[in-house]
């Protein structure tokens, strides 16, 4: 196959998978007695057909880009880091805590972002050490640390960083630390610039530096990479550090750039799910930093348009979520199968079938 054909193959696969997902979603709505055509028209027209809708899609995409990068970089190294959810909680709370000292307006956002990245990095360091030195699988350890972060964040929101006036949330992020809004009347902030910048840096690192090549080599063929001199422990620690910092930034941009309260709510309702949704976004984007950008915007548009499907097309929330899930699953399936094929899991399933 030519190089052009190889380059176009993922795009063709994604287009076919997307059409299948839309078709299955239409069948679900039709089976429950709802007309899928006006529902889809509202979904895409209101998400991408207006400035306000596009701004909402980009705002939703902002944290998803960062959590997807956290998973994708791990996947490129052969690691399944699914701890972005917990790392994101720690980053958001660190950004809120950074509002306590008084700092100049130009410096304060940078300090908050740096502390959030550091908090996510440190939270991810323990699973990294467990994997590198004790062989504990990262799926098990990061799931456990997601729950630890969940309940620790509950405690911090309710007892340490609680707003004395509104007990359902933390103190608000200081005005000097907030990310400026890019479009008045929307919640699209400068955080989208932070997320896109991180994606571009991740691409340059993975494909244009020696250490990035070593990370990809370790994921493609661990034995060959070890034979070539790539240190497996250093790779694990470095990848976890980058993933943790990115997930921490995801929490920060959500807390610092989402009006009107600029805080973390009790129950983590404004943060929950972004870490796990990032896994789907990463797979839709083929675990490539540049592919993640349109994937996150598309997913963010689905989130923004889902509310309008309920309002204008009268499709119940449960059906909307089912349709969303089918579309995302269909788009993510080609990359999931590629990962399973690389790990040899499909051959094992066929052997035992």
State how far the Cα of 113 lies from the Cα of 121, in Å rounded to an integer.
12
pLDDT score of 266 = 87
* Helix H or strand E segment including 172: none
Burial degree of 259 (CB within 10 A; 0-12, 13-18, 19+): exposed
Residues 282/72, Cβ–Cβ less than 8 Å: yes
Residues whose CB is less than 8 angstroms from the CB of residue 32 and which lie 6 or more positions away in sequence, other chains included: 316, 319
Query: Which of residues 285 and 17 earns the better pLDDT score?
Result: 285
Cα atoms in the 13 Å half-sphere on the side-chain side of 190: 8
Terminal C-alpha separation, the chain: 32
**What confidence tens digit (pLDDT) does each residue in 26-49 have?**
898 888 888 888 888 888 877 787
State how far the Cα of 149 lies from the Cα of 92, in Å rounded to an integer.
11
Measuring CA to CA, which residue among 84, 109, 83, 99 is closest to residue 264?
99
Measuring CA to CA, which residue among 93, 254, 252, 105 is closest to residue 177?
105
pLDDT score of 316 = 84
Give residue 260's pLDDT band: very low, low, confident or very high (50, 70, 90).
confident
Give how far Cα 59 sits from Cα of 93, 124, 309, Å.
Answer: 20, 25, 19
| Per-domain residue ranges of the chain | 61-291
State how far the Cα of 153 lies from the Cα of 86, in Å rounded to an integer.
9
Q: What is the mean pLDDT of residues 176-193?
A: 92
State how far the Cα of 62 lies from the Cα of 313, in Å rounded to an integer.
27
Give residue 349's pLDDT band: very low, low, confident or very high (50, 70, 90).
very low
Residues whose CB is less than 8 angstroms from the CB of residue 33 and which lie 6 or more positions away in sequence, other chains included: none
pLDDT score of 87 = 97
Q: Does the structure show a pLDDT above 80 at 3?
A: no
Which range, of 64-78, 132-146, 247-261, 293-307, averages the lowest pLDDT? 293-307
**What confidence tens digit (pLDDT) does each residue in 273-325 have?**
999 999 989 988 889 999 899 889 988 888 877 777 877 778 887 888 888 88
| DSSP structure class, residue 194 | H
Q: What is the mean pLDDT of residues 122-148?
A: 95
Q: Does the structure show a pLDDT above 80 at 85?
A: yes
pLDDT score of 7 = 47
Burial degree of 344 (CB within 10 A; 0-12, 13-18, 19+): exposed
Tokens 């007309």 — which residue? Answer: 35
Give residue 342's pLDDT band: very low, low, confident or very high (50, 70, 90).
low
Q: What is the mean pLDDT of residues 187-198?
A: 95
State how far the Cα of 246 lies from the Cα of 121, in Å rounded to an integer.
8
Q: What is the mean pLDDT of residues 255-277?
A: 91
pLDDT score of 126 = 93
Q: How many helices (H) and strands (E) does the chain have?
A: 14, 0
Q: Does the structure show a pLDDT above 60 at 6?
A: no
Q: Does the structure show a pLDDT above 90 at 213?
A: yes
State how far the Cα of 164 lies from the Cα of 136, in Å rounded to an integer.
41
Give residue 8's pLDDT band: very low, low, confident or very high (50, 70, 90).
low
**What confidence tens digit (pLDDT) does each residue in 45-66 have?**
777 878 888 898 999 999 999 9
pLDDT score of 323 = 84
State how far the Cα of 124 lies from the Cα of 61, in Å rounded to an integer.
23
Sign of dihedral through CA atoms 104, 106, 109, 115?
A: negative
pLDDT score of 89 = 97
pTM of the model: 0.90
Give residue 9's pLDDT band: very low, low, confident or very high (50, 70, 90).
low
Question: Between 51-76 and 210-220, two packed helices, what is the crossing angle to 10 degrees?
Answer: 70
State how far the Cα of 287 lies from the Cα of 197, in Å rounded to an integer.
17
């Amino acid at each position: 196959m030519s190089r052009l054909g190889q380059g176009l193959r993922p795009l063709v696969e994604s287009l076919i998978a997307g059409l299948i997902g839309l078709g299955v979603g239409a069948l679900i709505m039709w089976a429950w007695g709802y007309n899928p055509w006006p529902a889809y028209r509202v979904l895409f027209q209101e998400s991408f057909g207006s400035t306000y809708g596009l701004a909402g899609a980009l705002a939703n995409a902002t944290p998803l880009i960062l959590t997807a990068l956290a998973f994708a970089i791990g996947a490129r190294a052969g690691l399944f880091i699914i701890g972005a959810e917990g790392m994101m909680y720690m980053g958001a709370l660190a950004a809120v805590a950074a509002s306590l000292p008084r700092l100049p307006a130009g410096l304060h956002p940078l300090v908050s972002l740096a502390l959030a990245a550091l908090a996510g990095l440190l939270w991810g360091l323990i699973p990294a050490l467990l994997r590198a030195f004790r062989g504990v699988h990262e799926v098990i350890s990061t799931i456990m640390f997601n729950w630890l972060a969940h309940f620790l964040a509950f405690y911090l929101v309710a007892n340490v960083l609680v707003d004395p006036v509104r007990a359902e949330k933390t103190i608000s992020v200081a005005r000097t630390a907030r990310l400026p809004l890019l479009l008045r009347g929307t919640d699209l902030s400068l955080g989208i610039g932070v997320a896109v910048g991180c994606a571009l840096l991740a691409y340059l690192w993975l494909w244009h530096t020696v250490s990035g090549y070593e990370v990809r080599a370790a994921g493609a063929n661990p034995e060959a990479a070890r034979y070539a001199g790539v240190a497996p422990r250093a790779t694990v620690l470095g990848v976890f550090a980058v993933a943790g910092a990115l997930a921490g930034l995801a929490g920060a941009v959500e807390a610092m750039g989402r009006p009107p309260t600029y805080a973390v709510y009790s129950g983590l309702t404004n943060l929950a799910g972004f870490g796990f949704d990032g896994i789907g976004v990463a797979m839709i984007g083929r675990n490539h930093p540049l592919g993640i950008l349109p994937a996150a915007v598309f997913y963010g548009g689905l989130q923004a348009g889902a509310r309008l499907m309920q309002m204008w097309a009268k499709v119940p929330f449960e059906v909307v979520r089912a349709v969303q899930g089918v579309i995302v699953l269909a788009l993510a399936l080609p990359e999931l199968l590629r990962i399973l094929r690389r790990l040899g899991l499909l051959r094992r399933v066929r052997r035992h079938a």
